[in-house]
Structure 1
């Protein structure tokens, strides 16, 4: 995760784009490969199995034809009878007639069955052949022929080279024992010319690479014929598990097997690379498409990065220019509406920021001037308080109790009111200052009005903004209460601190109330109502925001009620 956090936006964007682009393609490719692989396997294996069945059918039909012909010659009464007569006949003319008749019958049988090739009778005791229909090679030896299946009276051979001296082809052959009295005679037959062209290709094609090869196994699983003798030699046991499966893999070959009704079997072997040839071609095509798609994805990712990263670079330059007030306004655009709009907003923000900087700088200068002015103004109040303190002691020394009381109350009130606004104040402090103020007013004007302060004991220690009660009571004195009137101050603790200041004065109109609550500049040059109400509103806003409430209820001739509430705790201290 930490390494990912250090990857740049450009690299992240390229990686995410490549993943989002290539992942569906990879998934689709994998699913396609799995599907195509299954289809190809089924297609190739089914084709091989189908061809092998066809080959077996052809071979079985051919051998069945030989078997049928041999049965006619072995069990037909006429041919056996003529052979027995020939064996017993001594008269030359009659022997010649029988020989001619036997050969004529054999020729008729041969010509009527084009799938029958060389045909002859073999006498193993004398190692002689008779009644052959074609010239026989001198090296005839049935013991050297590859046996496919052997039965008591008949044996199937081959494929092997034909003993027909006029052809040079591979043939299948059979040898059947003939029941002739007095001696052992065997009928030897071969398949005819081109009878197995569809099964075995010419020798020149057999040696070509990438073709199917055929093996013929006897009923014991021994190889009787092999088109791939270097890997599957004749007379060797076929290495495949013939008992458990009809197809499988051996070495670098895929093999299929079909078993005949006589027990021998035919096996096709195909190089594995030939089996996978079509699949490999498909994989090469997919890889090619993938590489092209990858290059296109990288190109589009680069274009996307260029389209996004260059505008970001412009944003970076614009943001850096914020710290330089003398930087020139750039008019560069990205030609992308969304980015151009953001650039315009940043440039507009930069202008406003520097305007704010200038305004703050101007205010700081004014603040410094005000600090000096404040120090000058603080000299007079302190001098006044020191002077009042001197008057207080002179009054005490001369026995002027009224003057002493007046000066002491004034000194305490000035000390409280001139304190720093940020200092902590409580409701108790406010009540004390309010009482000092009311005492001064009563001494000064000799009023007979009554001020009733009702405070919840739990509220005395609660925090309060400084100098918040006196302005409201002062407003009631100057603008509402007559000489014999009253002012009631009520402070209660509920969910908030609630302060109510009620008088029985002349009251005010609704327009005046709205002007006091909403207009900060009302009667700003007057002492009392305008300045006092404006100060209270600002103190509440500064300390409590929208959590504080100030309401005024009044009727002409019926007095005024000022309702004030703010949170018991919290709020920011006034700066």
Structure 2
């Protein structure tokens, strides 16, 4: 039902709307498909490009930070387990001011040597947690030093790493990383505190020094908590990061942010967070441009479809005019063209066909007039034969009453033959009726001619009821009598039906030459149109062609002095026999 409904609705669509719809469908659908493919391709390329850039930056950041922390670890090991520990231990036991000052000078000199030899190392000092005091710092301290307030990034038994925080160095104002390690002194509880240097992480975690971009950084400790956040509103410190539950996932989306994570060998992680709207900015710009281009393309496609319809509509109007003039009048001649070669050629063909149709119409009118005249003439010619038949019927009864049996027989045969032959030439009859009329004809001819001849008629019983056109056998037998049958002449009529109807007329007469055969079948001259001179043979040929076309066959084979064979082949089915 739905399919039929769609077909019916489509059939009601005008030609104009069909052209526009098909044109728009053929032009816009590929463009839309190409747009979708391009969009997903561009989106994938941009996504991979941004994600690759973020991961690349993260790997560079984590490498920089690991190097800085490794440097802090190396320096802290050197100081915590080095020869300077003996001097620090002695410092706690020296009471003389002079000796104490001299020892402090030596320790600071050692610290300065280490500090200058490691430019990525900043503030260095020793911290005593029991008294909350510090000493031996190589730079002035800003404010009160409190390790408990520092953000722990990673904590191990021998060392603790602190995430980005304001430096305690009074000479700089930037974010630094730091580490605290217990000094190897058996009888004292002392910790070594070291910060990264002024330029160690200049472009990394110090927002006031780093290049301005859209990303923000997070530092996660070993447990996945946020130790440092550049976006405390959406990712507050000391809370678990959303992507920490699955350590295998290194990127994702959260709260309108795209995040990417890199984990260090020490267990802490760096996370880059970027707003999704900034990531999609380039894609959205491409989408807007594509939409505008699609609208422009649609307008052009609609205009092109309208122009195409106009190009087709104009020739159709001319065709309509030509067809109307075709059925109205042949006199008005149209010479306008469409300026399109293909349509102009069709117009020329239509106009040529128009002329031929009206010529044919005039010829048919003339033939109809002639046919009417022939019908009148035919009626006039039929008057005399009917009068003759009535007269013969009167002679028949006079011969019966007078006892002239031979005359009665002759008149009766002639009357029957005339009655059969006066039927419509070419109308349908049976083989049986045709054979009976042939016998009447032969009886008359045997009385007419002064020589004796025999006729043998052999017909299959199953062929007697077959239909053939009227007046086929008599002209063929008449041809045999006319061309050379004399005393002791013999004519054999053989009619058989197999897959077709085969009629064979054979005589033992004088025979005919090839020229005579050709004249009988093909010569249309007036001299050869006399009765008995081939008109019957041409009639048979014409009637066979009219009813069977090329499926029927008429052949004549003859030899001088040996006789003639006329063969007719008629198909059992097909043809156009009038009923």
Same fold (TM over 0.5): yes
1:411 paired residue number? 415
Structure 1 position 395 matched with structure 2 position 399: yes
1:232 paired residue number? 235
Matched-pair contact (CA < 8 Å) for 2:46–2:283 = yes
1:124 paired residue number? 129
Q: Which moved more, 1:130-139 or 1:277-286?
A: 277-286
2:334 partner SS: coil
Give the CA deviation at 1:381.
3.0
Give the CA deviation at 1:252.
2.0
Structure 1 position 81 matched with structure 2 position 112: no
Give the CA deviation at 1:264.
1.4
1:53 paired residue number? 59
2-side partners of 1:553 and 1:279: how far apart?
94
1-side partners of 2:136 and 2:321: how far apart?
110
1-side partners of 2:326 and 2:192: how far apart?
113
2-side partners of 1:468 and 1:293: how far apart?
77
2:466 paired residue number? 462
2:269 paired residue number? 265
- Find 2:165's aligned residue among 160, 164, 171: 160
2-side partners of 1:204 and 1:387: how far apart?
143
1-side partners of 2:102 and 2:210: how far apart?
47
Matched-pair contact (CA < 8 Å) for 1:479–1:529 = no
Q: 1:301 to 1:205 in 2, by over 3 A?
A: farther
Structure 1 position 319 matched with structure 2 position 329: no
2:120 paired residue number? 115
Matched-pair contact (CA < 8 Å) for 1:123–1:129 = yes
Matched-pair contact (CA < 8 Å) for 2:202–2:210 = no
2:476 paired residue number? 472
Give the CA deviation at 1:183.
4.3
- Tell me the alpha carbon deviations over residues 127-186 of structure 1, each in whole angstroms, 9 at most, x when there is no partner: 223233333232432211111012234221121112223332111112222344654322
Give the CA deviation at 1:30.
5.0
Matched-pair contact (CA < 8 Å) for 1:508–1:556 = yes
Structure 1 position 491 matched with structure 2 position 495: yes
Give the CA deviation at 1:417.
1.0
2:190 partner SS: strand
1:243 paired residue number? 247
- Tell me the alpha carbon deviations over residues 398-454 of structure 1, each in whole angstroms, 9 at most, x when there is no partner: 323233222211211111111234654112111111111122233344543333323
Uncovered stretches (5+) of structure 1, i.e. residues with no partner: none
Matched-pair contact (CA < 8 Å) for 1:84–1:181 = no
Matched-pair contact (CA < 8 Å) for 1:421–1:574 = no
Give the CA deviation at 1:232.
0.6
Matched-pair contact (CA < 8 Å) for 2:202–2:209 = no
Give the CA deviation at 1:4.
4.5
1:213 paired residue number? 216
Matched-pair contact (CA < 8 Å) for 2:330–2:358 = no
Moved over 6 A (4+): none
1-side partners of 2:556 and 2:518: how far apart?
9
1-side partners of 2:476 and 2:265: how far apart?
124
Instruction: Tell me the C-alpha RMSD between the 2 structures.
Output: 2.9
Give the CA deviation at 1:501.
2.1
1:42 paired residue number? 48
- Tell me the alpha carbon deviations over residues 504-558 of structure 1, each in whole angstroms, 9 at most, x when there is no partner: 4343321121122123445354112232112111111112111111122233444
2:189 partner SS: strand
Q: Which moved more, 1:46-55 or 1:100-109?
A: 100-109
Give the CA deviation at 1:316.
3.4
Matches within 5 A, 1:340-355: 340-355=344-359
2-side partners of 1:337 and 1:359: how far apart?
33
Q: Which moved more, 1:364-373 or 1:235-244?
A: 364-373
2-side partners of 1:346 and 1:205: how far apart?
84
Structure 1 position 527 matched with structure 2 position 531: yes
Give the CA deviation at 1:565.
2.0
Q: Which moved more, 1:251-260 or 1:20-29?
A: 20-29
TM-score, normalised to structure 2's length? 0.89
Matches within 5 A, 1:3-14: 3-8=9-14, 10-14=16-20
2:554 partner SS: strand
2-side partners of 1:205 and 1:152: how far apart?
33
2-side partners of 1:309 and 1:496: how far apart?
56
1-side partners of 2:373 and 2:28: how far apart?
68
Q: Which moved more, 1:62-71 or 1:350-359?
A: 62-71
TM-score, normalised to structure 1's length? 0.90
Q: Which moved more, 1:388-397 or 1:3-12?
A: 3-12
1:397 partner SS: helix
- Find 1:425's aligned residue among 425, 429, 439: 429
Give the CA deviation at 1:225.
0.2
- Find 2:68's aligned residue among 62, 66, 70: 62
Q: 1:37 to 1:196 in 2, by over 3 A?
A: same
- Find 1:518's aligned residue among 508, 518, 522: 522
1:448 paired residue number? 452
Q: 1:255 to 1:481 in 2, by over 3 A?
A: same
2-side partners of 1:485 and 1:7: how far apart?
80
